[in-house]
């Protein structure tokens, strides 16, 4: 499938056009802040069952589209399905988040990871994509996604989330050749996964590098920028017309290198970046996507509306997609999301 439909505002923005009204979707737009999601989550059992049962995952993906009429539907899944598909045990603990049996060094790469399993384990994800695509309104873009190699590697090596990434950094800095093997494996698996998502119906894909900002500049070049460049090239080799968005959260001024070096069509910008800097340093090269602080969405009201209008005023005269600087948080009142959408579309007056 190629991203060429002229009647989809989000695709037009990713192709460099400037729609009169910015298209909008939200990271984590399907999730715990929605009562309909919580009800379905209780039925599913485990979080992995929710992700890998197409009936559930399809419904969750469509819930925010039905409620808010957003311009993009993003596949409901998780960035850690790749290590799970490769054979690394993964589970989710209530109130803690994802947990994995941590890779304990280079020897674990051959002992634990089996690339031949990838598509077999992830087949339900592709089924979900086909089902969602069949049910979407004709003007809504289907988005696939994956985690970037560095971010996924942090979870694989640390065994979950981390405050300082000490274990994974010691491996990357102390034995870069063996760590490169892990990154190479993730580049290959992520490329194959994204291409399969596109073949199943995804019209654009986003690569989430949530922990890019945890690395110093030189290391970020090697472990973040270059892997994303290789993934984009692999996707474009098979699907040259499918846009790719990169999200190197926390990358700061290195965002310019992602724009110049990765080949991504779009950059999702976090809330720390000044709007005038985004406009002058990035928007002339790529479509920009962002960047309301998720906590402003929690608070809502006049302050949120003013921030939304400022973002649209500063970025809306070029290729631009409205989004958050990170994902919707569970404390978000659903009515604030409706207010956000109405404000972006000029349907509110105060």
Of the two residues 94 and 133, the one the predictor is more confident about is 133
pLDDT at residue number 93:
87
**Helices and strands (DSSP H and E) totals, the chain:** 17, 9
DSSP 43-77: HH-SHHHHHH-HHHHHHHHHHHHHHH--SEEE---
Looking at residue 24, what DSSP letter applies?
Answer: B
Quick one: tokens of 60? Answer: 């969750």
**What Cα–Cα distance (Å) separates residue 134 from each residue in 31, 58, 142, 286?**
22, 10, 10, 30
Quick one: tokens of 142? Answer: 């289907």
- Pairwise CA distance, residues 114 & 136, whole Å: 34
- Pairwise CA distance, residues 222 & 46, whole Å: 36
- Other Cβ atoms within 10 Å of 50 Cβ, number: 21
- Pairwise CA distance, residues 313 & 311, whole Å: 6
Q: What is the dihedral of CA 163, 28, 30, 39, to 10 degrees?
A: 20
**198 φ, ψ (degrees, to nearest 5):** -65, -40
CA triple 35-41-43, angle to 5 deg: 110
Q: Mind telling me the catalytic residues?
A: 28, 32, 41, 78, 155
- Pairwise CA distance, residues 200 & 133, whole Å: 9
- pTM, entire model: 0.96
pLDDT at residue number 3:
41
Mean pLDDT of 255-282: 97
**137 φ, ψ (degrees, to nearest 5):** -60, 150
Mean pLDDT of 13-38: 96
Q: Do residues 25 and 289 lie in contact, with contact meaning Cβ atoms separated by under 8 Å? A: no
**What is the chain's mean pLDDT, rounded?**
95
pLDDT at residue number 95:
79
Q: Is the pLDDT of residue 5 over 70?
A: no
Q: How confident is the model at residue 318 (pLDDT cuts 50, 70, 90)?
A: very high
Say which residues have a Cβ less than 8 Å from residue 100's Cβ, sequence separation at least 6: 80, 83, 88, 89, 90, 91, 155, 156, 159, 160
Rounded percentage of the chain residues whose pLDDT exceeds 90: 93
Q: Is the pLDDT of residue 134 over 80?
A: yes
pLDDT at residue number 349:
61
pLDDT at residue number 252:
96
Rounded percentage of the chain residues whose pLDDT exceeds 70: 98
Mean pLDDT of 295-315: 98
Q: Is the pLDDT of residue 2 over 80?
A: no
pLDDT at residue number 340:
98
pLDDT at residue number 1:
37
pLDDT digits over 27-82, tens only?
A: 999 999 999 999 999 999 899 999 999 999 999 999 999 999 999 999 999 999 99
Domains of the chain: 27-290 (3.20.20.210)
């Amino acid at each position: 499938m190629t991203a060429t439909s002229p009647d989809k505002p989000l695709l037009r923005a990713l192709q460099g056009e400037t729609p009169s009204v910015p298209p909008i979707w939200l990271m984590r737009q399907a999730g715990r802040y929605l009562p309909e999601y919580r009800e379905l989550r209780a039925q599913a059992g485990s979080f992995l069952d929710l992700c890998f049962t197409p009936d559930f995952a399809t419904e969750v993906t469509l819930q925010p589209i039905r409620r808010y009429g957003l311009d993009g539907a993003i596949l409901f899944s998780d960035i850690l399905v790749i290590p799970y598909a490769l054979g690394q045990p993964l589970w989710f603990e209530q109130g803690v988040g994802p947990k994995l049996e941590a890779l304990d060094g280079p020897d674990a790469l051959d002992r634990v990871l089996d690339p031949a399993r990838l598509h077999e384990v992830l087949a339900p994800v592709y089924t979900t994509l086909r089902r969602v695509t069949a049910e979407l309104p004709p003007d809504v873009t289907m988005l696939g996604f994956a985690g970037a190699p560095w971010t996924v590697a942090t979870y694989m090596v640390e065994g979950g989330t981390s405050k300082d990434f000490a274990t994974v950094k010691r491996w990357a800095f102390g034995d870069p050749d063996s760590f490169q093997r892990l990154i190479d494996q993730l580049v290959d698996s992520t490329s194959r996964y994204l291409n399969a998502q596109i073949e199943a119906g995804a019209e654009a894909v986003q690569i989430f590098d949530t922990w890019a900002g945890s690395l110093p500049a030189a290391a970020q070049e090697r472990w973040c920028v270059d892997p994303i460049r290789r993934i984009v090239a692999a996707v474009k080799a098979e699907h040259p017309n499918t846009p790719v968005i990169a999200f190197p959260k926390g990358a700061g001024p290195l965002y310019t290198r992602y724009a110049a070096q990765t080949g991504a069509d779009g950059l999702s910008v976090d809330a720390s970046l000044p709007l005038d800097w985004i406009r002058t340093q990035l928007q002339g090269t790529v479509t920009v996507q962002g960047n309301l602080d998720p906590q402003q969405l929690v608070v809502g009201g006049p302050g949120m509306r003013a921030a939304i209008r400022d973002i649209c005023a500063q970025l809306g005269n070029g290729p631009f997609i409205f989004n958050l600087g990170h994902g919707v948080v569970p404390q978000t009142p659903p009515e604030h999301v409706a207010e956000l959408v109405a404000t972006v579309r000029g349907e509110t007056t105060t």
